[in-house]
Amino acid sequence: MIKARVTVTLKNGVLDPQGKAIEGALGAIGFDGVGSVRQGKVFDIEIDASDREKAEADLKAMCERLLANTVIENYSVSIT
């Protein structure tokens, strides 16, 4: 069993209204000095495989085809 974490974030330059809302809310509840907040998503995935290279290729294909909108998002894959 191979476990992986896929992290998807917005590319630099893409507006992040949810991040801005979180940034404002943090200031409103007393957390001063927060300069910028960017939100993203995390997927923890288990793959029933023993070939690490194939699992990594499959994970990248999952990101390209479903998990990330590669026009506006970046992704990283970490196999643990």
- The predicted structure's pLDDT at residue 66: 98
The burial class, CB within 10 Å (0-12 / 13-18 / 19+), for 19 is middle
User: Is the pLDDT reported for residue 80 higher than 90?
Assistant: no
Decide if 75 contacts 68 (C-beta within 8 A): yes
Residue 62: give its domain's CATH number.
Answer: 3.30.1280.10
Range of the domain at 59: 2-79
Note the pLDDT tens digit of each residue in 4-24.
999 999 999 999 999 999 999
User: At 25, is the pLDDT very low, low, confident or very high (cuts 50, 70, 90)?
Assistant: very high
Domains identified in the chain, total number:
1
